[in-house]
Amino acid sequence: MTIPGAATDTPPPRARGHIGLSVQVVVGMLLGVLLGVLFPHLGLRMQPLGDGFIRLIRMLIAPIIFCTVVHGIVGIGGMRKAGRVALKALIYFEIMTTLALIVGLVVVNIWRPGDGMNVDPHLLNTASAKAYVTAAEHQDLLDFAMNIIPKTLVGAFAEGNLLAVLFVSVLFAAVLPAMGEQATPILRLIESLNAALFRIIGLIMVIAPIGAFGAIAFTVSRFGATSLIGLGKLVLCFYLTCAIFVVACLAPVARLCGFSLWKFARYIREEILIVFATTTTESVLPQVMRKLCRLGCDESVVGLVVPTGYSFNLEGTCLYLSATAVFLAQATNTPFGLSQQIALVLISLLTAKGSAGVAGSAFITLAATLSALGTVPVETIALIIGIHRLLSEALTFTTLLGNGVATLVVAKWEGALDAAQLDRELNAR
């Protein structure tokens, strides 16, 4: 089985005068900005358009991952190779997320966006942050590990927990080879189901510009002008941090792997724009998997690395944790020396995984990290709650790009990457 639109499929030629999806999304975003600026009350009512688009994509993610992982593992010859791929991916994830935390610390310590704010934590209105603090108190590694095992087989798909779906998929893939001929109709059904699911994705993507319009209109109306005026230095600092990580870390890794990061970013430009507008990487997961296969990655590697990376390779979240934690310390004049920052890195490597798959996970993870650190008052997260969505636009873009690079790197290590096809696709007009 191959993912529709992957390496074996040639994209249909565009008709003359056809406007590409990326252009449509950009137009939708620009219209959303105008609506949010000129008619903010109307812009607030556009939120269901963005949320509805995200929900349409999310409802298909679990079955697509199941079909891809099961057939991929069976196709590569079983669990031994799958385990080797997973181990290499996890090692890569730990290295890159550690680098992200360090880059975040370096930039925020040089820029120091919180200096001079002199915020008294006791005077902050913490009511808006209370829900996130409560959620963080219930997140720990034991709960995270137990949540990988779903309560029921169907529950893994109903709850949308990517790791639980991956767990069920691996179990299926482990037993199918032992079934012999009995497994053949099951694999054919999975192949047909996956083809149908990607056709549905194609239909949903037609309304991606509308989803981007609604999401951006709501963001600008709800958070834009006031938030940027009050905490603009942090927003600029974080966007610069993400840019530095992409240029200094992801680009050299891509070059060592034999491809240009900028050409890859251009190749997934539609997905980048959608992620930037919706502030969630889940909104493009199926499309990214399809394009990575089209670039020459083996389907089994894509099926294992991408969903695992969505829980363990949260590079954008790690940049967010280090930058915002130190910013809050600076803004509240809390002593935060080298030892505390080293502790922040070590704790963040754990907490960034502990809330994977939770809605608003970056903000919940920040609360959990500060709670475990015990230096900066957890309630100070109320200071940045107004600009969290603006920061999320940069962190989700970075995470998306990082997971794409990770998949290509692991495929290269495994000898499961067609270099000629990768070069051909990235250089195609």
| Span 89-113, pLDDT tens digits | 889 999 999 999 999 999 999 988 8
By three-state DSSP, how is residue 255 classified?
Answer: helix
Q: Output the six-digit token pair for 280.
A: 């969630």
* Residue 5 placed within a domain: no
In this structure, the number of other CB atoms found within 10 A of the CB of residue 314 comes to: 31
Q: How many residues does the chain have?
A: 429
Q: What's the pLDDT at 86?
A: 82
Q: What's the pLDDT at 13?
A: 46
Q: What's the pLDDT at 1?
A: 45
Name the domain count of the chain.
1
Q: Containing H/E element for 147?
A: helix 141-147
Q: What is the distance between the alpha carbons of residues 74 and 62, in angstroms, rounded to a whole number? A: 18
Q: What's the pLDDT at 130?
A: 58
* Residue 2 placed within a domain: no
* Residue 15 placed within a domain: no
Q: What's the pLDDT at 402?
A: 94
Which amino acid belongs to residue 28? G
* Residue 7 placed within a domain: no
Q: What's the pLDDT at 220?
A: 75
Low-confidence spans in the chain with pLDDT less than 70: 1-19, 75-79, 122-145, 160, 223-231, 354-360, 386, 429
Q: What is the distance between the alpha carbons of residues 381 and 223, in angstroms, rounded to a whole number? A: 16
Which amino acid belongs to residue 193? L
Q: What is the distance between the alpha carbons of residues 195 and 215, in angstroms, rounded to a whole number? A: 29
Kindly report the pTM of this predicted structure. Answer: 0.77
Task: Give per-residue pLDDT as tens, 259-268.
Answer: 999 999 999 9
* Residue 380 placed within a domain: yes
What domain range is 178 assigned to? 21-426
Query: What are phi and psi for residue 59, nearest 5 degrees?
Result: -65, -15
* Residue 170 placed within a domain: yes
Query: What sign results for the dihedral spanned by CA atoms 151, 157, 161, 164?
Result: positive
Residue burial 260-295, b: 16+ Cβ < 10 Å; e: rest? ebeebbebbbbbbbbbbbbbbbbbbbbbbbbbbbbb
CATH of the domain at 105: 1.10.3860.10
* Residue 212 placed within a domain: yes
HSE (CB half, 13 Å, CA atoms) of 6? 23
* Residue 6 placed within a domain: no
Q: What's the pLDDT at 318?
A: 92
